[in-house]
Amino acid sequence: MVNDAGQFYSMEGIAAAILMVVTATLVLSATTLYTPQDVHISDMQLEQLGYDTLKIMDTPLNSSAESSLETMIRTNDYFSFDSAFLNYLNTKTNGMDTIQYSATIYFRKSTTGTINQTIFYQSRNPSGNENGVRVSRWIFINNTAGFGTWSTKPSSERIDTTRNQTVLLEVFLWRE
């Protein structure tokens, strides 16, 4: 003989299953799980922005000319570098960003063979606790075009102006 006594338990089980599925869906859609790779997305974006900015500045207008970045480093024109670099770096479609930087040039002294460095320019001195990224670019400097005011720097911070050379421009970037 068949009776309806078990029908209530079946309905209760179906309702409980639906409630558990809805609850799990709400919980999973409301929480964001960060993996170690996701945590540094803003750093990767800042790093790519820095590389792109240096690439734009190091692209010559025509094949026979030097890039504006080469000219700025060759002539020690850090004011033009600061203006152009910050303009490219901070311009957004909906306003301006607040990215700061510190640019250092590494070069080899031909007389001693040592690797020296000089701070090319800083938009603001880093305090040491900024969360930033480093980007770098190798730049070929041709001495036949003539050097600028490198003689104003101390001798240990002067790029060798008597020969062609490749220098490393390293830029530390951070957001305020």
Position 161 pLDDT exceeds 60: yes
Alpha helix ranges (H) inside 121-164: none
pLDDT at site 176: 77
The widest CA-to-CA distance across the chain, in whole angstroms, is 108
Helix (H), strand (E) at residue 52: helix 41-57
Position 1 pLDDT exceeds 60: no
Backbone angles phi, psi at 24, to 5 degrees: -65, -40
pLDDT at site 75: 82
pLDDT in tens, 2-49: 666 666 677 888 999 999 999 998 887 777 666 666 667 788 888 999
Position 128 pLDDT exceeds 90: no
Q: What is the pLDDT confidence band of residue 52, given thresholds at 50, 70 and 90?
A: very high
pLDDT at site 135: 94
- State how far the Cα of 52 lies from the Cα of 116, in Å rounded to an integer: 26
- State how far the Cα of 79 lies from the Cα of 163, in Å rounded to an integer: 24
- State how far the Cα of 89 lies from the Cα of 78, in Å rounded to an integer: 16
- State how far the Cα of 160 lies from the Cα of 115, in Å rounded to an integer: 12
pLDDT in tens, 62-84: 877 888 998 888 888 888 999 99
Q: Which two tokens stand for residue 106?
A: 């590494």
Answer yes or no: are the C-beta atoms of 167 and 138 closer than 8 Å. yes
pLDDT in tens, 133-145: 899 999 988 876 5
pLDDT in tens, 27-37: 877 776 666 66
- State how far the Cα of 131 lies from the Cα of 6, in Å rounded to an integer: 64
Answer yes or no: are the C-beta atoms of 90 and 98 closer than 8 Å. yes
Average pLDDT over residues 152-162: 71
pLDDT at site 134: 92
Parallel, antiparallel, or unpaired: how do β-strands 132-141 and 165-175 relate? antiparallel
Q: Which amino acid is at 34?
A: Y
